Amino acid sequence: MMGRGTILLLIVGALGAYYFYIPLPDNLEETWKVLWMHTHMKTLTNLGLFVEFLGMNHFMISAKFLMNFQEVPPTSDENVSVMETTFDNIPVRVYLPKRKSEMLRRGLFYIHGGGWCLGSAALLTYDVLSRKTAERLDAIVISTDYRLAPEYHFPNQFEDVYNVLKWFLHQDVLERYGVDAERIGVAGDSAGGNLAAAVVQQLRDDPDVKVKIKIQVLVYPALQTLDFDSPSYRENGHFPLFTKSLTVRAWSEYFTTDRSLEKAMLSNQHVPLESSHLFKFVNWSSLLPERFTKGHVYNNPTFGGSELSKKYPGFLDVRAAPLLADDSKLRGLPVTYILTCQYDVLRDDGVMYATRLRNAGVRVTHNHIEDGFHGALFSHELKIGSRTENQYISWLSENL
Ligand SMILES: *[C@@H]1O[C@H](CO)[C@@H](O)[C@H](O)[C@H]1NC(C)=O
Ligand SMILES: *[C@@H]1O[C@H](CO)[C@@H](O)[C@H](O)[C@H]1NC(C)=O
């Protein structure tokens, strides 16, 4: 006979395993660590959603509060000086290599991720990456902040980043930091990759800016708001760490705190008929190579959201969704590095942009990580983290 204690233990164990365990693909390394990170993240997410459900705190405010603990002060080390300053009244961190240099240095402008709601240049992960980049490339790294949702919505995030970048590109600022105007890159991950792609597109046609950006680096970027039912959304909607529901929540928060936009986006019925011409820019049935589309049937769009798009026109704006740019706007963009991960809802955004840029004659290096997932570049506790980081830094080193 099993005692009551044993039965209770079995039930708790089964519930625990149900919560903890999710099937993961065979080619993923260190699955237990990934599951552990997933459980941690899921618990915090559920806690945040519960607090929001009780009407106490907006979900992103709770998430921001928890993330603040991961911020570090700007501390110089033996190789790199780290300073905080402002460019056009927006806080930035500047990483300056200490070793002497007779020549002007390369410059990298970095934009952090966090779904337009979270994150800062001060987060440990970003601080570590910027420091390493400055040291290994002997380059100046500018890591920028920008205003975040839910307090601020589009176009504030975009405009902050754009203004900081333009400030940095002034002749006298470049001279002050000893930066070579012909060797400047713009990089970002996730929402930062979105902002990087957007500012690089806008810069191309800005008569005020004389400097030509040499490279853009888009790490698992979010690039389109039209179709949340592409193969990568279908396949990875529940993948650990970064789900479709979180992604769509972040996208909708970029434009408004009104949850009706999120609801419409989740059912993929948020684009009005008047905007049907935009779908060709995100038509994955023609823009993805077959290995990504196989087994998936393309459904022509369902229209809706006329009211929503009048209230929140930002979600159809090319500065928010760089994949919506016309081909003529893609020509002449800088040499591009796009990193995508197989197990990421945003995978197809990056792959489609690679296709469209190549079709427009832009030189693109597409690094697709077969066993990767969203956040791989910053998974320092995993082998995939250092592998991805080395690939990222080597490419920068050779192309910037
Ligand atoms: C500084 O550079 C030296 C030489 O490359 C290296 O051995 C050392 O680990 C670096 N220090 C830090 C704090 O990264
Ligand atoms: C998408 O592309 C497919 C074929 O490549 C085509 O049949 C379909 O009409 C296109 N849909 C839209 C909305 O552009």
What is the per-residue pLDDT across 187-221, written as a single tens digit (0 to 9) for each?
A: 999 999 999 999 999 999 999 999 999 999 999 99
- Residue entry with tokens 């899921």: 42
- In angstroms, what is the span from residue 79 Cα to ligand 1's centroid? 6
Domain boundaries defined on the chain? 72-223+325-399
pLDDT recorded at residue 3: 74
C-alpha of residue 178 to centroid of ligand 1, in Å: 22
Asked if the bond preceding 73 is cis, omega within 30° of 0, the reply is: no
Per cent of the chain over pLDDT 70 is 97
* Ligand 2 atom nearest 301 alpha carbon: 13
Question: Which strands form 139-144's sheet, in the order they lie side by side?
Answer: 80-87, 90-97, 139-144, 105-111, 179-189, 215-219, 335-343, 364-373
Dihedral sign of CA atoms 385, 320, 146, 143 in order: positive
State residue 21's pLDDT score. Answer: 67
pLDDT band at 50 (very low <50, low <70, confident <90, very high): confident
Which ligand sits closest to the CA of 273?
2
Residue with tokens 């909708």: 252
Instruction: Tell which one of 72, 76, 77, 79 to mutate to probe ligand 1, the residue whose CB is within 8 A of the most ligand atoms.
Output: 79
What's the 195 CA to ligand 2 centre distance in angstroms? 28
Mutate to test the pocket of ligand 2, among 280, 285, 302, 356 (most ligand atoms within 8 A of CB): 285
Is residue 290 lining ligand 1, measured as CB closer than 6 Å? no
Q: pLDDT at position 237, please?
A: 93
Q: To the nearest 5 percent, what fractions of the chain are helix, strand and coil?
A: 50, 15, 35
pLDDT at position 261, please?
96
Around ligand 2, the residues with Cβ closer than 6 Å are 279-280, 283, 285-286, 298, 300-301
Which ligand approaches the C-alpha of residue 95 most closely?
Answer: 1
Query: Is 50 in a helix, a strand, or coil?
Result: helix
Residues labelled catalytic: 190, 344, 374
Mutating to test ligand 2, I would choose from 300, 352, 355, 356 the residue with most ligand atoms within 8 A of its C-beta, which is 300
Helix (H, G, I), strand (E, B) or coil at 59: helix
Q: Kindly state the average pLDDT of the residues 116-140.
A: 97
Atom number of ligand 2 nearest to Cα 300: 13
Q: What is 72-223+325-399's CATH topology? A: Rossmann fold (3.40.50)
For residue 19, name the pLDDT band (cuts at 50, 70, 90): low
Average pLDDT over residues 36-64: 87
What is the spatial distance between Cα 343 and Cα 346, in angstroms, rounded to a whole number? 9
Joined together, the tokens standing for residue 333 give 């963009």
Atom of ligand 1 nearest to the CA of 79: 1
Least confident of 56-65, 103-112, 279-288: 56-65
Q: Report d(CA 256, CA 361) in Å as an integer.
A: 36
Nearest-angstrom CA–CA distance, 16 and 171: 59
**Which of residues 94 and 10 earns the better pLDDT score?**
94
Output the pLDDT for position 2: 62
